[in-house]
Structures are given as C-alpha cells and as structure tokens.
C-alpha cells in the first residue's frame, strides 16, 4: 500500500503537468508511450513469449499511427490534414491482415488470440486513450484557456 501511494504521489502530478501545461505534442507522445507499454503488457499476458516478441512491434506501430493520426487530425497546421490523411490511408486493418497472411503456416503465425490482442492493443486502446485526452479539444481548448 505504501508503494502504491508513493507511486501515485509522484505519478499523478507528473500526469497532470503533462496534460495541463505541456505542449500538445508532449501529450500525444505520452499517450503513444502509454499505449505502446500497455499493448506490450496485454500481448505478454495473453500470448506466449515468442509470439509476444514477434507481434509486439506491429501492435506498437499501429498504436503510434493511431495516436499520430488523431493528433494531426486536430492540429491547426497547414500540413496537418494531409499528414493525418496519409496516416489514415495506411489502413491499420490492412496492415494486420497483410501480416497475418504473410505469417500464415510459419512458426509463430497469427492465430485468433493474437489477432484479437493486436487489434485491441494497436487500435482499440489507443483510440479510447485518445478520447481520454480529448484530442478533439486540444488546440481550441488551449487557445481559449
């Protein structure tokens, strides 16, 4: 319990500092980092170690792409929309499907559990975490504050 309170006492002010006072890109970076770490924890929990090592990179890349796409979608910058479009056009689902096909029949192929874990870690968790940070209100929110 003591350790739990100590970690919260250090972590919560740090989290508040980044969310409220740091620039938008720092918030996005924090979200991406948390999603990558959380994704690894999820894969490590449900997959054997060799499959975790094999598929974690894909899940991490997907989560970074998802957070980046949402960040650029709401950034009032001239080149933000084209960048967001490019990231969205990358097609997260297509990439997972392609990796699944390429690994089919090989050692460490993507089975149903791995597919679900990768979709959860790479797409669902980052999208929901991005909602947590209220990506849609970053720029205007800061401009008005």
Partner 1 sequence: MLEHGAGLVLIPLVAAFMSDAMALFGGMMFGRTKLAPLVSPKKTREGAVSGLVGGMAGMILFRIFFFLCTEVPLHFGWCVLLGLVGAVLGQLGDLSFSCIKRQYGIKDYGRLLPGHGGVLDRFDSVIFAAPVIWMIVDAVTLY
Mask of contacts with partner 1, 61-100, x by CB under 8 A?
Answer: ----------------------------------------
Structure tokens, 96: 């997972």
Q: Does 140 bind partner 1 (CB under 8 A)?
A: yes
Strand, coil or helix: what is 74? coil
- What number of other Cβ atoms are within 10 A of residue 88's Cβ? 15
Mask of contacts with partner 1, 32-61, x by CB under 8 A?
Answer: --x--xx-xxx-xxx---------------
Rg, the chain, Cα only: 17
Contact residue for partner 1 among 98, 101, 102, 131 (CB under 8 A): 131
Contact residue for partner 1 among 86, 98, 102, 132 (CB under 8 A): 132
Contact residue for partner 1 among 14, 20, 86, 102 (CB under 8 A): 20
Instruction: Give the orientation angle of helix 80-89 with respect to helix 49-73, to 10 degrees.
Output: 150
| C-beta separation of 134 from 27 below 8 A | no
| C-beta separation of 114 from 55 below 8 A | yes
- Which span (3-11, 54-62, 78-86, 98-106) binds partner 1, by CB under 8 A? 3-11
């Amino acid at each position: 319990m003591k350790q739990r309170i100590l970690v919260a006492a250090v972590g919560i002010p740090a989290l508040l500092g980044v969310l409220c006072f740091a620039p938008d890109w720092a918030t996005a970076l924090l979200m991406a980092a948390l999603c990558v770490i959380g994704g690894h924890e999820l894969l490590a929990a449900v997959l054997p170690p060799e499959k975790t090592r094999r598929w974690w990179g894909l899940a991490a890349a997907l989560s970074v792409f998802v957070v980046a796409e949402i960040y650029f979608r709401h950034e009032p910058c001239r080149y933000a929309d084209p960048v967001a479009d490019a990231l969205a056009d990358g097609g997260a689902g297509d990439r997972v499907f392609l990796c699944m096909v390429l690994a089919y029949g090989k050692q460490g192929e993507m089975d149903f559990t791995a597919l679900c874990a990768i979709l959860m870690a790479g797409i669902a968790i980052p999208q929901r975490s991005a909602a947590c940070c209220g990506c849609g209100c970053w720029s205007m929110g800061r401009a008005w504050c």
